[in-house]
Amino acid sequence: MPEPTATDPRWPELFSVMVHDIRTPMTVINGYLDMLLKERFGPVNDKQRHLLQEIRKQYIKVYGILADGSELTSIERGRVTYTRKPADLHQLLRTAIEQLPPQPDREVPVELETSPGDASIDADAPRLTKAFSSIIAGVRREAVMADRLVVREQRSGTEYQIRIGDDETIASFDNVSIADLPMFDEWRGGVGMTLAVARRILNGHDARIAAPPEGRKTGAVILLPR
Protein backbone atom coordinates (compact mmCIF):
# COMPACT_ATOMS: atom_id res chain seq x y z
CA MET A 1 0.00 0.00 0.00
CA PRO A 2 1.46 3.42 -0.91
CA GLU A 3 2.30 5.80 1.92
CA PRO A 4 -0.09 8.78 2.31
CA THR A 5 1.26 12.15 1.17
CA ALA A 6 0.15 15.76 1.71
CA THR A 7 -2.05 15.46 -1.40
CA ASP A 8 -3.48 12.09 -0.36
CA PRO A 9 -7.19 12.35 0.58
CA ARG A 10 -6.47 10.23 3.67
CA TRP A 11 -4.18 12.78 5.33
CA PRO A 12 -6.93 14.72 7.17
CA GLU A 13 -8.16 11.47 8.73
CA LEU A 14 -4.64 10.44 9.77
CA PHE A 15 -3.89 13.91 11.11
CA SER A 16 -7.13 13.88 13.09
CA VAL A 17 -6.13 10.59 14.75
CA MET A 18 -2.71 12.03 15.60
CA VAL A 19 -4.25 15.16 17.16
CA HIS A 20 -6.58 13.01 19.26
CA ASP A 21 -3.78 10.72 20.42
CA ILE A 22 -1.62 13.68 21.48
CA ARG A 23 -4.48 15.57 23.13
CA THR A 24 -5.33 12.66 25.46
CA PRO A 25 -1.99 12.54 27.35
CA MET A 26 -1.82 16.35 27.30
CA THR A 27 -5.10 16.43 29.23
CA VAL A 28 -3.62 14.09 31.84
CA ILE A 29 -0.49 16.25 32.14
CA ASN A 30 -2.63 19.34 32.66
CA GLY A 31 -4.61 17.56 35.37
CA TYR A 32 -1.46 16.76 37.34
CA LEU A 33 -0.18 20.31 36.84
CA ASP A 34 -3.42 21.64 38.24
CA MET A 35 -3.14 19.41 41.32
CA LEU A 36 0.47 20.48 41.90
CA LEU A 37 -0.42 24.18 41.63
CA LYS A 38 -3.29 23.64 44.09
CA GLU A 39 -0.80 21.93 46.44
CA ARG A 40 -2.76 18.69 46.56
CA PHE A 41 0.51 16.78 47.12
CA GLY A 42 2.08 19.21 49.56
CA PRO A 43 3.36 22.80 49.75
CA VAL A 44 4.96 24.44 46.70
CA ASN A 45 7.56 27.18 47.14
CA ASP A 46 7.74 30.29 44.96
CA LYS A 47 10.44 28.94 42.64
CA GLN A 48 8.57 25.68 42.11
CA ARG A 49 5.31 27.56 41.46
CA HIS A 50 7.04 29.75 38.88
CA LEU A 51 8.38 26.68 37.06
CA LEU A 52 4.99 24.98 37.13
CA GLN A 53 3.35 28.12 35.74
CA GLU A 54 5.90 28.20 32.91
CA ILE A 55 5.05 24.57 32.12
CA ARG A 56 1.36 25.54 32.10
CA LYS A 57 2.07 28.31 29.57
CA GLN A 58 3.76 25.83 27.24
CA TYR A 59 0.88 23.40 27.72
CA ILE A 60 -1.59 26.11 26.68
CA LYS A 61 0.51 26.84 23.59
CA VAL A 62 0.65 23.16 22.56
CA TYR A 63 -3.07 22.73 23.25
CA GLY A 64 -3.77 25.72 21.00
CA ILE A 65 -1.78 24.09 18.19
CA LEU A 66 -3.79 20.89 18.65
CA ALA A 67 -7.05 22.86 18.55
CA ASP A 68 -5.96 24.49 15.28
CA GLY A 69 -4.99 21.09 13.92
CA SER A 70 -8.39 19.71 14.82
CA GLU A 71 -10.15 22.62 13.10
CA LEU A 72 -7.91 22.30 10.05
CA THR A 73 -8.76 18.62 9.59
CA SER A 74 -12.47 19.33 10.12
CA ILE A 75 -12.36 21.93 7.34
CA GLU A 76 -10.41 19.63 5.03
CA ARG A 77 -12.89 16.81 5.66
CA GLY A 78 -15.82 19.10 4.81
CA ARG A 79 -17.27 18.97 8.31
CA VAL A 80 -17.38 22.73 8.93
CA THR A 81 -20.57 24.61 8.12
CA TYR A 82 -20.40 28.38 7.82
CA THR A 83 -23.44 30.15 9.27
CA ARG A 84 -23.36 33.36 7.28
CA LYS A 85 -25.48 36.28 8.44
CA PRO A 86 -25.38 40.05 7.79
CA ALA A 87 -22.42 41.57 9.63
CA ASP A 88 -20.47 44.82 9.80
CA LEU A 89 -16.98 44.33 8.36
CA HIS A 90 -15.62 47.30 10.30
CA GLN A 91 -16.82 45.83 13.59
CA LEU A 92 -15.33 42.42 12.75
CA LEU A 93 -11.95 44.06 12.11
CA ARG A 94 -12.15 46.08 15.34
CA THR A 95 -12.94 42.93 17.31
CA ALA A 96 -10.12 41.03 15.57
CA ILE A 97 -7.63 43.70 16.65
CA GLU A 98 -8.98 43.70 20.21
CA GLN A 99 -8.45 39.93 20.37
CA LEU A 100 -4.77 40.08 19.38
CA PRO A 101 -2.51 38.35 21.92
CA PRO A 102 0.17 40.42 23.66
CA GLN A 103 3.63 40.38 22.10
CA PRO A 104 6.45 38.96 24.25
CA ASP A 105 9.18 41.41 23.21
CA ARG A 106 8.04 44.71 21.73
CA GLU A 107 4.42 45.76 21.40
CA VAL A 108 3.62 47.09 17.92
CA PRO A 109 0.43 49.18 17.91
CA VAL A 110 -2.21 48.18 15.36
CA GLU A 111 -4.34 50.94 13.85
CA LEU A 112 -7.53 50.39 11.86
CA GLU A 113 -8.34 52.67 8.93
CA THR A 114 -11.74 52.26 7.28
CA SER A 115 -13.60 53.74 4.34
CA PRO A 116 -16.66 55.86 5.11
CA GLY A 117 -20.11 54.38 4.70
CA ASP A 118 -21.73 51.01 5.10
CA ALA A 119 -19.53 47.89 5.12
CA SER A 120 -22.11 45.12 5.27
CA ILE A 121 -21.14 41.55 4.41
CA ASP A 122 -22.62 38.09 4.87
CA ALA A 123 -20.29 36.23 7.21
CA ASP A 124 -19.87 33.61 9.88
CA ALA A 125 -18.81 36.42 12.20
CA PRO A 126 -16.94 34.42 14.90
CA ARG A 127 -14.94 32.40 12.37
CA LEU A 128 -14.14 35.32 10.07
CA THR A 129 -13.10 37.46 13.04
CA LYS A 130 -10.76 34.68 14.17
CA ALA A 131 -9.27 34.47 10.67
CA PHE A 132 -8.66 38.24 10.58
CA SER A 133 -7.07 38.16 14.03
CA SER A 134 -4.77 35.25 13.10
CA ILE A 135 -3.55 36.97 9.94
CA ILE A 136 -3.00 40.33 11.65
CA ALA A 137 -1.12 38.58 14.47
CA GLY A 138 1.02 36.67 11.97
CA VAL A 139 1.98 39.85 10.12
CA ARG A 140 2.58 41.77 13.36
CA ARG A 141 4.88 39.02 14.59
CA GLU A 142 7.21 39.69 11.64
CA ALA A 143 6.93 43.49 11.82
CA VAL A 144 8.65 43.90 15.19
CA MET A 145 10.72 46.89 14.01
CA ALA A 146 7.73 48.83 12.65
CA ASP A 147 6.44 51.88 14.50
CA ARG A 148 2.90 50.72 13.83
CA LEU A 149 0.92 48.16 11.87
CA VAL A 150 -1.95 49.39 9.72
CA VAL A 151 -5.12 47.47 8.86
CA ARG A 152 -6.76 49.45 6.07
CA GLU A 153 -10.16 48.63 4.58
CA GLN A 154 -10.94 50.18 1.22
CA ARG A 155 -13.28 49.50 -1.68
CA SER A 156 -12.24 48.27 -5.12
CA GLY A 157 -15.06 47.53 -7.54
CA THR A 158 -17.03 44.57 -6.24
CA GLU A 159 -14.53 43.76 -3.49
CA TYR A 160 -13.32 45.01 -0.15
CA GLN A 161 -9.55 45.21 0.11
CA ILE A 162 -8.13 44.71 3.58
CA ARG A 163 -4.47 45.70 3.50
CA ILE A 164 -2.24 44.73 6.42
CA GLY A 165 1.32 45.95 6.93
CA ASP A 166 3.49 48.90 7.84
CA ASP A 167 2.98 52.21 6.03
CA GLU A 168 5.40 51.36 3.19
CA THR A 169 3.83 47.96 2.60
CA ILE A 170 0.32 49.45 2.56
CA ALA A 171 1.44 51.98 -0.07
CA SER A 172 3.18 49.29 -2.16
CA PHE A 173 -0.18 47.69 -3.03
CA ASP A 174 -1.08 50.84 -5.02
CA ASN A 175 1.61 50.18 -7.61
CA VAL A 176 0.71 46.62 -8.64
CA SER A 177 -2.16 44.57 -9.97
CA ILE A 178 -3.60 42.55 -7.10
CA ALA A 179 -3.93 39.59 -9.48
CA ASP A 180 -0.13 39.57 -9.95
CA LEU A 181 0.75 39.46 -6.25
CA PRO A 182 2.57 36.38 -4.90
CA MET A 183 0.78 33.69 -2.94
CA PHE A 184 0.48 34.26 0.79
CA ASP A 185 2.69 31.83 2.73
CA GLU A 186 0.46 30.20 5.34
CA TRP A 187 3.17 27.86 6.66
CA ARG A 188 5.46 30.01 8.80
CA GLY A 189 7.49 29.10 11.84
CA GLY A 190 6.18 30.17 15.21
CA VAL A 191 2.50 30.52 14.31
CA GLY A 192 1.46 26.88 14.28
CA MET A 193 -1.45 26.20 11.95
CA THR A 194 -3.38 29.42 12.60
CA LEU A 195 -2.65 30.91 9.16
CA ALA A 196 -3.57 27.68 7.38
CA VAL A 197 -6.91 27.64 9.22
CA ALA A 198 -7.42 31.36 8.54
CA ARG A 199 -6.85 30.97 4.80
CA ARG A 200 -9.41 28.19 4.60
CA ILE A 201 -11.96 30.24 6.55
CA LEU A 202 -11.41 33.08 4.06
CA ASN A 203 -11.93 30.64 1.19
CA GLY A 204 -15.17 29.58 2.86
CA HIS A 205 -16.29 33.22 2.52
CA ASP A 206 -15.24 33.37 -1.17
CA ALA A 207 -12.30 35.55 -0.15
CA ARG A 208 -8.66 35.46 -1.24
CA ILE A 209 -5.39 36.45 0.40
CA ALA A 210 -2.12 37.48 -1.22
CA ALA A 211 1.34 38.53 -0.08
CA PRO A 212 2.77 42.01 -0.71
CA PRO A 213 4.84 42.77 -3.83
CA GLU A 214 8.28 41.24 -4.19
CA GLY A 215 10.80 43.00 -1.98
CA ARG A 216 8.38 43.57 0.89
CA LYS A 217 9.08 41.09 3.66
CA THR A 218 5.79 41.03 5.52
CA GLY A 219 2.20 42.02 4.95
CA ALA A 220 -0.98 40.77 3.33
CA VAL A 221 -4.02 41.87 1.39
CA ILE A 222 -7.40 40.16 1.74
CA LEU A 223 -9.96 40.44 -1.05
CA LEU A 224 -13.51 39.94 0.19
CA PRO A 225 -16.65 40.13 -1.98
CA ARG A 226 -18.93 43.08 -1.23
CATH code of the domain occupying 85-225: 3.30.565.10
Report which DSSP code applies to 104. S
pLDDT in tens, 7-50: 566 777 777 788 888 888 999 999 999 999 999 999 999 999 99
Percentage of the chain beyond pLDDT 90 is 51
Other C-beta atoms closer than 10 Å to the C-beta of 21 total 9
Contact assessment for residue 33 and residue 59, using Cβ atoms and an 8 Å cutoff: yes
Domain chopping of the chain, boundaries:
11-76, 85-225
**pLDDT tens digit sequence for 133-182:** 999 999 998 887 788 999 999 998 889 999 999 988 998 888 788 878 88
Q: How far is residue 70's CA from residue 51's CA, in Å, rounded to a whole number?
A: 29
Distance of alpha carbon 151 from alpha carbon 136, whole angstroms: 8
